[in-house]
Amino acid sequence: MSTSSTRKQSDVLYEEAQTHIVGGVNSPSRSFKAIGGGAPVYMERGEGAYFYDVDGNRYIDYLAAYGPIITGHAHPHIHRALMEASSKGLLYGTPHALEVDFAKKLKAAIPSMDKVRFTNSGTEAVMTTIRVSRAYTGRELVVKFSGCYHGHSDLMLIAAGSGPATLGSPDSAGVTRATAKEVITVPFNDVEAFRNMMNEWGEQVACVLVEPIVGNFGIVEPKPGFLQAVNDITHEHGALVIYDEVITAFRFTYGSAQQVYGIEPDMTALGKVIGGGLPIGAYGGKAEIMETVAPLGPAYQAGTMAGNPASMATGIACLEVLEQPGVYEKLDALGARLEAGIREAANTHGVTITLNRLKGALTVYFTDEIVTDYDGAEKSDGEVFGRFFKLMLENGVNLAPSKYEAWFLTTEHTEQDIDETIAAVNRAFAEL
């Protein structure tokens, strides 16, 4: 639990940050605007499942940097890999062996990808899959599901979840009307709406972007048959299916969500966990489609930092940790323990919640309705969430400051951490 409830140094840093950094933060999701304001907590150090802030408070962390830190903070194996890589120079601008090793490792884990290309972020990876799908099909329209977040490229800021939804701008200003007209949105988990839309527009659609397990309006699993129907209908109309597995890859199993459901997309976008904590993205797919990319084909994509040795080394090291036996079983068992404890706390204190969990990721919605799509997630009471979030912080637990985000378990959480967290939830629910 936190050693002190004061966060004076955080307040001072935030005050200063606002003078120099827009909104005081380098990603809007980090601001506390949507949960009633106040200074975000300035972390000084992460170690395993814990964060220590600049005022000396300790927190059990479930943010995990919005997903990437699945092996906990400062994991020794990843740290060693980074030290070794950086001792040989941080950036080459030339090909090097580690990028070949990592490409092979990713392909072995996600067999639908014949070829891959590394980028610097999930945003770039998704943005490029769209470009490639357009180049390959010769079509222009793009379909996405409402409330899913696929990064901050112009096209993907239509009906976007996560940060944009949290801050009330699912359709960002600055995206032109012409761009918005290139994107069609449909509700997640609604096969009929998807089929009807494709019957009307399908012949002009280049690609359908799917978060196969949603992570950006909380954790929402696809209903049985939904992903298969999306694949079948999309292919009937000659369009490509792109799985955005930036959150899901290596989060629920060693590999991707497509393997969990036994469905192959045409292309896959990756990020987060595959960098082991350093900036990264990647995309891959069937050879015929990937060969549309320069220098083989006419679709251009590039990056000065792409495939840099440090990100390759930490990515490989992270996957080496995750491929050890028992990792995902442990994440599931800890997740189940946490879920049971939160449910019991809600019963004890008469707090209405809906809890969605898949293995080591969960979301607590403050609503009595089941959440299978974005409309459902929107019903979660943001004002109650804001109070809950702040009470959890006071009780030494760090969550994402948004009702739309997930709690992420790491390999470093212990049963004792979970029990401490459940005790904190009980104290928070008692005061809500």
Ligand X SMILES: Cc1ncc(COP(=O)(O)O)c(C=O)c1O
Residues marked as catalytic: 149, 244, 272
When asked if residue 247 is in the footprint of ligand X (CB under 6 A), the reply is yes
Residue 68 CB, shortest distance to ligand X, in Å, is 8
Residue 218 CB, shortest distance to ligand LHPZP3FS, in Å, is 10
Contacts (Cβ under 8 Å, ≥6 apart) of 208: 142, 143, 144, 230, 234, 239, 240, 241, 242
Contact call for residues 202 and 236 (beta carbons, < 8 A): yes
From edge to edge, which strands make up the β-sheet containing 50-53?
43-47, 50-53, 58-61, 397-398
Interface of this chain with ligand LHPZP3FS, residues 72 to 131, rule: CB under 6 A: none
Interface of this chain with ligand X, residues 109 to 128, rule: CB under 6 A: 121-123, 126
Q: Which CB sits closer to ligand X, 149 or 429?
A: 149
When asked if residue 29 is in the footprint of ligand LHPZP3FS (CB under 6 A), the reply is yes
- Interaction pattern, residues 193-212, with ligand X; x per rule: CB under 6 A: ------------------x-
Q: Would you give the DSSP letter of residue 292?
A: T
Which tokens sit at 252? 């629920």
When asked if residue 401 is in the footprint of ligand X (CB under 6 A), the reply is no
Phi/psi class of residue 111: alpha, beta or left (left: φ > 0; alpha: ψ in -120 to 50)? Answer: alpha
User: Rounded to an integer, what distance in angstroms lies between the CA atom of residue 143 and that of residue 208?
Assistant: 5
When asked if residue 218 is in the footprint of ligand X (CB under 6 A), the reply is no
User: Rounded to an integer, what distance in angstroms lies between the CA atom of residue 158 and that of residue 168?
Assistant: 12
Residue 110 binds which one of ligand X, ligand LHPZP3FS, none, with CB within 5 to 8 A depending on kind? none
H/E element, 10: helix 8-20
Nearest of 287, 364, 276 to residue 312 by alpha carbon: 276
Residue 29 binds which one of ligand LHPZP3FS, ligand X, none, with CB within 5 to 8 A depending on kind? ligand LHPZP3FS
Residue 307 binds which one of ligand X, ligand LHPZP3FS, none, with CB within 5 to 8 A depending on kind? none
Burial class from Cβ neighbours inside 10 Å (0-12, 13-18, 19+) for residue 63 reads buried
Residue 417 binds which one of ligand LHPZP3FS, ligand X, none, with CB within 5 to 8 A depending on kind? none
Residue 211 binds which one of ligand X, ligand LHPZP3FS, none, with CB within 5 to 8 A depending on kind? ligand X
Q: How many CB atoms lie within 10 A of CB 304?
A: 8
Contacting residues toward ligand LHPZP3FS, per CB under 6 A: 27, 29, 66, 149, 162-163, 216, 247, 405
Residues that bind ligand X (CB under 6 A): 121-123, 126, 149-151, 211, 215-216, 244, 246-247, 271, 281
